[in-house]
């Protein structure tokens, strides 16, 4: 029996194509169709074996993150990779159990262009009593030319029950409550990015520094039982925040392209607005390192922290970036 995010799925009976198709239908009905974000983006399970899972994400105009070069937003790749890695963990479990993403790293190997579906193959190569470790590859037309590789770990959880109060009684609530800025504006209103528009990301100013905001929408839910935001959506928001913050810091002199991006998930994202503040830790002539802090109720209680390296290129679009054989990073 396979356990996928706590949802029971009929076991696969090897030997006939009909049995495999029935199993995939069950997976898509119970794992995908019941997850609002995966259902909304059209993701599909394409294969499942013990400790392995494959998914596809159909091409859509909204997935573009760089309209000038015509490249996909890296956050789209992360959503697919996170979903496929979760599928592989479920396929590795022998008993039903809930689990959650601990951390996820994306390495971008080559540019991802529009008009082609995204594919992801994930393998849960090690599972212990508490943690599962997963590797995955994201590709488009050529399986031997991956556009990104993923490394992720998942915490295996116990079924929630009545919690005993901590010694000494319940902890006191923080006396200081954070209040979000009242005003927000569209991001890059003169040069909209389709994926940024799809997520509905907006910007504000907090303490004299840029603050990115992700207003909640029902389509962002990844766990309908808690409910909680899809981890890939949170990652896509954080990476967008890092890119936009860096674009502002560069002042139009150069344009950043993602080399890698790492997420650490600290708490479940509740169905409410998210905020992200960024810091450029190091900016050289060719590479910049950006850190991101993402929270909901207070910056003192982040739901995720992240960091990414970005290649700084000339602002003029390069034809080579559209070449699928181009070995340089820049998803």
| Three-state SS letters, 32-100 | HCCCHHHHHHCCEEEEEECCEEEEEECCCHHHEEECCCCEECHHHHHHHHHHHHHHHHHHHCCCCCCEE
Question: Both tokens of residue 209?
Answer: 């520094």
CA–CA gap between residue 320 and residue 313 (Å, rounded): 12
CA 257 from centroid of its chain's CA atoms: 17
- Phi/psi at 167 (5° precision): -55, 135
pLDDT in tens, 197-230: 999 999 999 999 999 999 999 999 999 998 999 9
pLDDT at 1 over 50: no
pLDDT at 160: 52
Maximum average pLDDT range among 179-183, 184-188, 283-287: 283-287
pLDDT at 172 over 50: no
**DSSP helix/strand/coil, 322:** helix
pLDDT at 191: 75
pLDDT in tens, 19-57: 445 688 888 988 899 999 999 999 999 999 999 999 999
Phi-psi category of residue 251: left, alpha or beta, with phi > 0 → left and psi -120 to 50 → alpha: left
CA–CA gap between residue 44 and residue 26 (Å, rounded): 11
pLDDT in tens, 47-103: 999 999 999 999 999 999 988 888 999 999 999 999 999 999 999 998 888 899 999
Which residue bears the tokens 């400790």?
Answer: 51
pLDDT at 176: 61
Residues linked to residue 314 through DSSP beta bridges, in sequence order: 254
The percentage of the chain sitting over the pLDDT mark of 70, rounded to a whole number, equals 82
């Amino acid at each position: 029996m396979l356990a996928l995010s706590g949802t029971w799925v009929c076991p696969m009976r090897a030997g006939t194509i009909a049995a495999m198709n029935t199993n995939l239908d069950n997976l898509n009905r119970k794992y995908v169709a019941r997850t609002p974000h995966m259902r909304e983006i059209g993701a599909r399970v394409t294969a499942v074996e013990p400790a392995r899972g494959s998914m596809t994400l159909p091409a859509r105009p909204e997935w573009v993150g760089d309209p000038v070069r015509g490249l996909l937003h890296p956050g789209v790749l992360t959503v697919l990779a996170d979903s496929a890695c979760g599928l592989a963990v479920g396929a590795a479990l022998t008993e039903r159990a809930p689990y959650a993403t601990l951390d996820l790293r994306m390495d971008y190997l080559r540019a991802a262009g529009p008009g082609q579906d995204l594919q992801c193959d994930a393998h849960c190569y090690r599972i212990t009593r508490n943690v599962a470790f997963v590797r995955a590859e994201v590709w488009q037309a050529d399986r031997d030319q991956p556009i990104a590789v993923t490394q992720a770990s998942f915490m295996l959880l116990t079924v929630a029950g009545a919690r005993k109060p901590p010694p000494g009684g319940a902890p006191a609530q923080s006396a200081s409550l954070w209040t979000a800025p009242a005003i927000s504006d569209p991001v890059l209103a003169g040069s909209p990015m389709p994926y940024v528009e799809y997520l509905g990301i907006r910007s504000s100013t907090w303490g004299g520094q840029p603050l990115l905001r992700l207003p909640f929408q029902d389509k962002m839910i990844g766990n309908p039982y808690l409910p909680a935001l899809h981890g890939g959506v949170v990652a896509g928001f954080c990476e967008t925040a890092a890119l936009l913050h860096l674009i502002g810091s560069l002042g139009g002199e150069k344009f950043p392209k993602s080399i890698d991006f790492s997420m650490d998930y600290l708490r479940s994202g509740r169905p409410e607005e998210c905020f992200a503040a960024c810091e450029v830790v190091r900016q050289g002539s060719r590479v910049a390192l950006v850190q991101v802090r993402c929270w909901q109720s207070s910056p003192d209680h982040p739901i995720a922290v992240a960091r990414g390296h970005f290649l700084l290129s000339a602002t003029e679009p390069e034809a080579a970036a559209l070449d699928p054989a181009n070995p340089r990073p820049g998803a």
